[in-house]
Amino acid sequence: SLAGKTAVITGSNSGIGLGMAWELARAGADVVLNSFTDTEEDHAIAAEIASETGVTAKYVQADMSKGDDCRRLVVAAGGCDILINNAGIQHVAAIEEFPADKWDAIIAINMSSAFHTTAAALTGMRERGWGRVINVASAHGLTASPFKSAYVAAKHGVVGLTKVTALETAEDPITCNAICPGYVLTPLVESQIPDTMKKYNMDRETAIREVMLTRQPSREFATTEQLGGTATFLCSDAAAQITGTTISVDGGWTAL
Ligand code: NAD
């Protein structure tokens, strides 16, 4: 059980981060949710997790594009035994057309935030003698696609940071790994299904199989619950010697 541990999950008011928060809470960890939005809904999600699972759950606003906010999040959490760097955005354009401000935002949110939060969290983990840093990278941390220069660069960077963090904590009871999802069924992806069905005049299953999941050999999405389960496994004693590596949850994408 993860009772008594506090997990800070960046970018966790939707999608994979929220799925990880739920699974860690079900495993007994107190959870700190984050986004830059600070809406009533954000606080309501934390209250729902607390009432359903019995753990302490709170929401802390912080903008992961800003280094100071990243560090403030870890401090405001009041302890961070499990750090999940999950916040991320995407922009798709050819390099010549790629807006420089989008490049900077993606590098900041998808990569540099993990440097700042990790820097803020490690001292406490060393003092308490236990820690787990989990970076949510991507199949695009290991392979590339055209038109995703900033995202692919940031995710490869996160995989590199994961290895360095693991080496610097290797003699402490702290591990750092990257989870590399393929295509995950988040609300964002779900909302693209009707348009894809209409555009190709296909039923739901065919649109998913033949259009959306062409690079995912399983032809099935990974789910946020499965990503949460992977994070929970990395927090278990069984995973104590797993460090500095990547775990793909991608239906075979990176085996191709
Ligand atoms: P999502 O849009 O549902 O979640 C992104 C989260 O990041 C949200 O909670 C959002 O509030 C937060 N966020 C965005 N900008 C932020 C900022 N400046 N400060 C704080 N929080 C911010 O998308 P998702 O699919 O759940 O993505 C989560 C992570 O998983 C990302 O790092 C993404 O690159 C990665 N990923 C997703 C997939 C997929 O298929 N969905 C595949 C591989 C990797």
State pLDDT tens for residues 89-141.
999 999 999 999 999 999 999 999 999 999 999 999 999 999 999 999 999 99
Number of H helices and number of E strands within the chain? 10, 7
Looking at the structure, do residues 177 and 195 belong to the same domain, yes or no? Answer: no
Residue span of the structural domain in which 206 resides? 185-221
* Shared domain check, 203 and 93: no
Same structural domain, 25 and 147: yes
The alpha carbon of 127 and the centre of ligand 1 are apart by a number of angstroms equal to 30
Predicted-complex ipTM score: 0.99
Q: Is residue 164 part of a domain?
A: yes
CA 256–ligand 1 middle distance (angstroms)? 25
The confidence score (pLDDT) of residue 155 equals 98
Number of residues in the chain: 256
Task: Give the number of the atom of ligand 1 that is nearest the alpha carbon of residue 85.
Answer: 32
What pLDDT was estimated at residue 82? Answer: 99
Does some domain include residue 256?
A: no
Mutation choice for ligand 1 from 89, 112, 218, 247, CB with most ligand atoms inside 8 A: 89
* Residues 135 and 213 occupy one common structural domain: no
For 30-56, b/e burial (b = at least 16 CB within 10 A) is: bbbbbbbeeeeebbebbeebbeebebe
The predicted pLDDT at position 170 comes to 98
Low-confidence ranges of the chain (pLDDT < 70): none
Instruction: Report d(CA 87, CA 69) in Å as an integer.
Output: 13
Domain co-membership, 114 together with 84 = yes
Residue with tokens 């870890």: 74
Residue 1 lies in a domain: no
State how many domains the chain has.
Answer: 2
6-9 and 174-181 as β-strands: parallel, antiparallel, unpaired? unpaired
CA of 17 to the centre of ligand 1 (A): 7
Site residues for ligand 1, CB cut-off 6 Å: 11-17, 34-36, 63-65, 86-89, 109-110, 136, 138, 181, 183-184, 186, 188-189
pLDDT score of 188 = 83
Residues 15 and 31 in one domain: yes
pTM confidence score: 0.98
3-state DSSP call for residue 102? helix
Positions annotated as catalytic residues are 151
CATH number of the domain enclosing 55: 3.40.50.720
